[in-house]
Amino acid sequence: MQILVTPQELNEQCREWKAAGRTVALVPTMGYYHAGHEDLMRHGKSLADHLVVSLFVNPAQFGPAEDFEAYPRNSERDTAIAGACGADVLFMPQSGDMYAPDHGTWVDVPAMAQKLCGQSRPAFFRGVCTVVLKLFLLSQADAAVFGNKDWQQQAIVKRMARDLNVPIRIETRPTAREDDGLALSSRNVYLTPAERAQAPEIYLGLKQAQDMVSRGEKDPELLRAAVLRRWAERLPLGRLDYLSVVHPETLETVNCVAAPALAACAVHLGKARLIDNMLLYP
Ligand code: PAF
């Protein structure tokens, strides 16, 4: 596995592969790998002749009061994992090489980016889209892989790629979970033992909504109310950011679960802000 650090090096290597008729898959990451990242990488490896994994904690997607400095990092361990998952290139750029001091161009999908997580993280998806498009352009990847835990992110990236005619296929993978249901996240490391003990309730609340829908409930407000009641009892350390039932592609709020809808939430638990989601099938 090659470790490349400048955008030019990455672009030259990928152009060489593409000129030789090879295909490239890209897995964009911010590191601190868990089993979910490994699944994205192994899937990426199966999609193309060459796998590029990027590891870049992207400052543009963190707000001023967020955890950019504290975001967990372990590049030595991550390098070993990316190699074991079959990456041909691990791209680890410096911020200054990705963003010129006078960087002034942003990619935004405002109608989708202002919903759900965008309510409390207004510049987040603009930062994500901008760095992801840079990585698409540099790698000329034929396919890129994203996780469904970040459902809103993958929906927005798909829309961006479609709107801008980026010739890339976006593939998604199911959320990787602990045995008790907690979605794997690099930020789980922030949880204290007491918070960790309550954290699976996030998943269990969403699962309760799915159970209600399976039994015929179609009213999103009643689903929300039941989940919030449950969390008030069993997730007292949590502070709700949002819980919404939306169309899985447009992210517009739905007023009836007549077709598959997405229940999506964000909950602050101590220092961690955890997100999760579940497709509700009527
Ligand atoms: O999901 C992430 O880790 C990041 O948002 C991504 C896609 C790597 C962009 O920085």
* 37-67 per-position pLDDT tens digit: 999 999 999 999 999 999 999 999 999 999 9
In a domain? residue 191? yes
Q: Which of 173, 202, 230 is the last residue of a domain?
A: 173
| Overall number of domains in the chain | 2
Hey, which of 26, 27, 29, 117 would you mutate to test ligand 1's pocket, going by the most ligand atoms within 8 Å of its Cβ?
29
Instruction: Let me know whether 223 and 124 are in one domain.
Output: no
φ/ψ of residue 50, rounded to 5 = -130, 140
Please report, as a single letter, which amino acid is at residue 19: A
> Does the Cβ of 30 fall within 6 Å of ligand 1?
yes
Mean pLDDT calculated for residue range 181-195: 98
Hey, which of 153, 175, 184, 186 would you mutate to test ligand 1's pocket, going by the most ligand atoms within 8 Å of its Cβ?
153
Report how far Cα 207 is from the mean position of its chain's Cα atoms: 20
Maximal CA-CA distance, the chain: 60
Q: Which of 122, 144, 173 is the last residue of a domain?
A: 173
Hey, which of 37, 39, 61, 129 would you mutate to test ligand 1's pocket, going by the most ligand atoms within 8 Å of its Cβ?
61
241-255: per-residue pLDDT in tens?
999 999 999 999 999
> Does the Cβ of 128 fall within 6 Å of ligand 1?
yes
CA 74 to ligand 1 centroid distance, Å: 16
- The closest residue, in CA terms, to atom 1 on ligand 1 is 29
Instruction: Let me know whether 153 and 196 are in one domain.
Output: no
In a domain? residue 180? no
CA–CA separation, 242 and 61 (whole Å): 19
Instruction: Let me know whether 42 and 71 are in one domain.
Output: yes
Which one, of 154, 155, 196, 203, lies nearest residue 176 by Cα?
203
Question: Which CATH number goes with the domain that contains 53?
Answer: 3.40.50.620
Burial of 103 (0-12, 13-18, 19+ CB in 10 A): exposed
Mean pLDDT calculated for residue range 183-210: 98
Instruction: Let me know whether 133 and 269 are in one domain.
Output: no
Q: Which atom, in ligand 1's list, is nearest to the CA of 128?
A: 9
Tell me the pLDDT band of 137, cut-offs 50, 70 and 90: very high
168-178: per-residue pLDDT in tens?
999 999 999 99
Mean pLDDT calculated for residue range 164-169: 98
Instruction: Let me know whether 156 and 249 are in one domain.
Output: no
How many residues can be counted in the chain? 282
> Any idea which residues carry the catalytic annotation?
37
Instruction: Let me know whether 13 and 138 are in one domain.
Output: yes
User: Which pLDDT does position 10 carry in this prediction?
Assistant: 99
65-101: per-residue pLDDT in tens?
999 999 999 999 999 999 999 999 999 999 999 999 9
Instruction: Let me know whether 164 and 217 are in one domain.
Output: no
> Does the Cβ of 31 fall within 6 Å of ligand 1?
no
- The reported pTM is 0.98
Tell me the pLDDT band of 239, cut-offs 50, 70 and 90: very high
In a domain? residue 6? yes
In a domain? residue 219? yes
9-37: per-residue pLDDT in tens?
999 999 999 999 999 999 999 999 999 99
Angle at 20 between CA 17 and CA 24, to 5 degrees: 35
Question: Which CATH number goes with the domain that contains 239?
Answer: 3.30.1300.10
> Does the Cβ of 29 fall within 6 Å of ligand 1?
yes
Question: Measuring CA to CA, how many Å separate 216 from each of 8, 223, 262?
Answer: 55, 11, 16
In a domain? residue 178? no
CA–CA separation, 220 and 49 (whole Å): 44
Which one, of 123, 162, 134, lies nearest residue 249 by Cα?
162
Mean pLDDT calculated for residue range 225-239: 98
CA 233 to ligand 1 centroid distance, Å: 33
What's the distance, Cα to Cα, between the start and end of the chain in Å?
A: 46
User: Which pLDDT does position 217 carry in this prediction?
Assistant: 98
User: Which pLDDT does position 45 carry in this prediction?
Assistant: 98
Instruction: Let me know whether 162 and 205 are in one domain.
Output: no
Instruction: Let me know whether 256 and 152 are in one domain.
Output: no
Strand partners, 53: 27, 90
Q: Which of 111, 145, 173 is the last residue of a domain?
A: 173
Instruction: Let me know whether 146 and 19 are in one domain.
Output: yes
Domain span including residue 17 = 2-173
CA 161 to ligand 1 centroid distance, Å: 15
CA–CA separation, 210 and 76 (whole Å): 40
